[in-house]
Homo-oligomer: A and B are copies of this chain.
Amino acid sequence: MSTTNSIEIDIQKAATSKISQIDFENLAFGNIFTDHMLLCDFADGAWQKPVIKPYEPFLMDPSSRVFHYGQAIFEGMKAYKDEQDSVWLFRPEENFIRFNKSANRLAMPSVPEPVFMDGLKELLKIEQEWVKKGKGNSLYIRPFMIATGTGVIAAPSSQYRFMIILSPAKSYYSGEVKVIIAEHYSRAANGGIGAAKAAGNYSGQFYPTKLANEKGFQQIIWTDDATHTKLEEAGTMNVFFRIGDTLYTAPTSERILDGVTRKSLIELAEREGLKVEVRSVLVSELVEAVQNGTLKEIFGAGTAAVVNPIIGFSYQDVYYELPPTENSYALQLKEKLNNIQYKLAEDTFGWTVKV
């Protein structure tokens, strides 16, 4: 991938940086943003010239389509700094491709690769001081697109805004995670938008998650909406189950996000000689496995945390706790993936891209 700036970008630098005010040792996830943002508008059937400018609020009309009809998609990525102060991206092409798949599913225009990729790299060059060295440190990248056309008519917008904002992040530790297996609520329909990284998929999860929180559980493992018998995602992450010495994860589908961390963990596990089966896991199998002692691990997989180990689950009001993990596949895979991301191990897959 070329790092040549093949598009013209209008760059307006911030007069001062706020970086000296940031406590990089104590960062809450996703709350602090860097000095600049990238912005590119779609109007009159074409993408306009991208702009990098100081991070700041912008004006929106009250009738903007995104407020009424939810055309909004995003991606989650990270930039890492190696010991030689170079900044690296992890499989950015995957995020770019998925972003435009989401755009298509929501009847939004595709973002050209130079706008997304060269725009991102240019922004990262300007903000490279915000990417801190050391394992666990990263710069979270949030590309997103919203419908900015006006008018309260339920039809696709003719105007859009693509943006990239950046937020410094520490290694993500969510504490001990207990989950409820969904028996009533669902995150996605057959023939719906569950495979898209669409804003609308998240808004429906908050209420059931709040109900789970009130019962002392941190997340929900989503099941298929028709039968609630197949295990699909954990919270906003893909989910893996280790039964015996085999790792299982559901195949991607219209209901399940094609996660970059998910697919990377599968490839990595296979390279490590671990047995991986990509197939639907039934709730009944999980209960049977925890009862007969073969269920060793459950973990979510996603960009923010890489893996998120789950220590127990509730199903039909019975709580099942997993035995203490020895020789955790989750932690081994996380370590190996992080080593590739931070350039501490050889990237035999060709996943890392220098900015």
Contacts and interface: CB of A to CB of B under 8 A. Distances in A.
Contacts of A107: 203, 206-207, 209-210
A226 interface: yes
A151 interface: yes
Given A60-B57, A152-B30, A226-B225, A68 B142 contact: yes
Interface stretch (A192-200, A276-284, A347-355): A192-200
Contacts of A137: none
B189 A193 contact: no
A188 B189 contact: yes
A273 interface: no
A31 B151 contact: yes
Interface residues of A, number: 70
A105 B204 contact: yes
Contacts of A153: 28-31
A254 to B, nearest CB: 9
A169 B209 CA distance: 40
B68 A199 contact: yes
A204 B70 CA distance: 9
B66 A37 contact: no
Interface in A209-241: 209-210, 225-228, 235-236
A57 B67 CA distance: 13
Contacts of A186: 189-192
A61 B60 CA distance: 10
Nearest to A237: B154
A207 B72 contact: no
A210 B70 contact: no
A243 interface: no
Contact of A106 (B144, B155, B204): B204
26 contacts: A29-B153, A31-B151, A33-B63, A58-B62, A68-B202, A69-B202, A70-B72, A70-B198, A70-B203, A106-B203, A106-B204, A106-B207, A107-B206, A107-B210, A152-B167, A185-B192, A187-B189, A188-B192, A189-B190, A189-B192, A189-B225, A192-B204, A193-B203, A199-B199, A199-B203, A226-B227
Interface of A: 28-31, 33, 37, 55, 57-63, 66-72, 74, 104-107, 140, 142, 144, 146, 150-156, 163, 165, 167, 182, 184-193, 198-210, 225-228, 235-236
